[in-house]
A and B are shown apart, each in its own frame.
Chain A
Amino acid sequence: MARQAVREQQGITLRGSAEIVAEFFSYGINSILYQRGIYPPETFTRVQKYGLTLLVTTDPELKNYLNNVVEQMKEWLCKCLVQRLVVVISSIESNEVLERWQFDIECDKTAKDETVPREKSQKAIQDEIRSVIRQITATVTFLPLLETACAFDLLIYTDKDMAVPEKWEESGPQFIANSEEVRLRSFTTTIHKE
């Protein structure tokens, strides 16, 4: 029993991987919203996660919205239906898209049929996620200040045939013309690669 418990702690299942990735998106989106000043700093509080001090919103409406999105993401990740999540930041006044944070997801669908967890330690995954979060924070050192009040949208790219859930709607990609791009690091649970 003890050996099995240790193995489960070290192993990654599809459900476990979906939870890890969905949780990352929750913290990652909060970090983007804080670092880019989309919401006032006084509406954030500090929490410890991935061995880091992270900032998460205390705004009840925003919390509720993000929780709903994350729960939906978890379900889709479990079924390997989601390919990309994009945080789109736009000017409230002009609706111009100013920034686009794109997270591509690769899901190994063979994991659906597996009964044995894959071996990758939580620590290794956490270390990789930590690097990504630190990079998000580091981007503020060179990204231009967003000097206009901004809002954000979340776009989730799914398989073509998937039904659109209630309260969601189809959207275009909201690309930016003549944009400058920087690439963040990625992490992998061995089932989902982000």
Chain B
Amino acid sequence: MAAPGGAEAEGVGASPAAPPLPAEPPAAPGLTRGPHRGGMAAPPLGPAVSVVFPGAVSRESCCRFACELLKHVLYQRHQLPLPYEQLAYFCRRPSQVGDMIKKPPSVDLASKKCQQVLTDLEGMLQHLEVIFSLTLVPRVLILLGGSAVSPKELYELNLEGVCVGSTEKSLKTTSCVRKLFHSLFIADVFSELKALPAMGTVVMLQGHRDCGVEWFRPKLNYKVPTRGRKLTVNLSCDGDISISASAPSSTTSVWEDYVWFQAPVTLKGFHE
């Protein structure tokens, strides 16, 4: 299959108003960083996909990365029968001529589950927008099945390496999202996995302890699970980025102010 393509890179830079990311030593391939800790962390427990953007990205882009990855994981891991936007279209369109007026119980139940997960997911996406506007979010976890401390599968979005800039001086969000998913596609991280039954999905993310977010609940003692299948998606920025505005600061103590927050809603997957 051939298609024209290529990421569009615009000017780079960063807003002086954006708080700098905590200082981190340069990452060696395959290494991840734990929360609240300086120095080097243990290697990731599973595959990792690294994406390097050729410039700064905006906070809105960071939020989009998290939202799109969540939707993508839910579909690829069989928690939604269709990608989110397509599911919303088909589940919410008015009944077509010829549709059954009375549906069998199984179809009606699936329809109710569909409506519920769409509502919950829409709420989740809106609240993700809020928290990303309140604080830098260095890590997002998507936890499938089991519990938040012992999931079946864990998808981690690592944003520690990104340089956050203003919308005007950052790369276009659509280009960055395409680059992210192109990398995921090439890595082919989902095809070998067995189909999953319908299960719950929990979302956790790190944010500043004083960011003032209300919907997400702080989990001060949370530790990233070490069991279960894990995929880490590492995002970082390269290229000509204004050092004064977006480079990490030299103090690692800033990480200590970041705590884990958990979404109060578990997204319930369903099969048709």
Contacts and interface: CB of A to CB of B under 8 A. Distances in A.
Interface string B189-207: 0110001000000000000
Given A48-B272, A53-B272, A141-B178, A180 B191 contact: no
Interface in A77-117: 98-102
Contacts of A140: 83
Contacts of B191: 131, 134-135, 185
A99 B1 contact: yes
B182 A142 contact: yes
B2 interface: yes
Contacts of B272: 46, 48, 53
A144 B89 CA distance: 21
A135 B182 CA distance: 11
A60 interface: no
A143 B177 CA distance: 11
A99 B3 contact: yes
Interface in B27-66: none
A41 B92 CA distance: 13
A179 B4 contact: yes
A184 interface: yes
- Prevailing SS type, chain A contact patch: mixed
Contacts of A41: 86, 89
Contacts of A143: 3, 5, 178
A179 B1 CA distance: 9
A184 B75 contact: no
Nearest to B272: A53
B72 interface: yes
Given A48-B272, A53-B82, A138-B185, A179 B2 contact: yes
Interface in B163-190: 177-179, 181-182, 184-186, 188, 190
Given A53-B82, A99-B1, A100-B2, A141 B68 contact: yes
A98 B5 CA distance: 10
Chain A's interface size range is: 35 or more
A98 B4 contact: yes
B185 A142 contact: yes
A60 to B, nearest CB: 13
Given A46-B90, A53-B272, A138 B3 contact: no
A144 B188 CA distance: 19
Contacts of B2: 99-100, 102, 175-176, 179-181
Contacts of A144: 3-5, 178
Given A41-B89, A48-B272, A142 B181 contact: yes
B1 A138 contact: no
Contacts of A98: 3-4
Closest 5 A/B residue pairs (Cβ): A179-B2, A141-B181, A53-B81, A180-B5, A142-B182
Interface of A: 41-42, 46, 48, 51-53, 55, 98-102, 127, 130-131, 134-135, 137-144, 175-176, 178-185
18 contacts: A41-B86, A41-B89, A42-B93, A46-B90, A98-B3, A99-B1, A99-B2, A100-B1, A100-B2, A135-B191, A141-B178, A141-B185, A142-B185, A144-B4, A144-B5, A175-B2, A178-B4, A182-B1
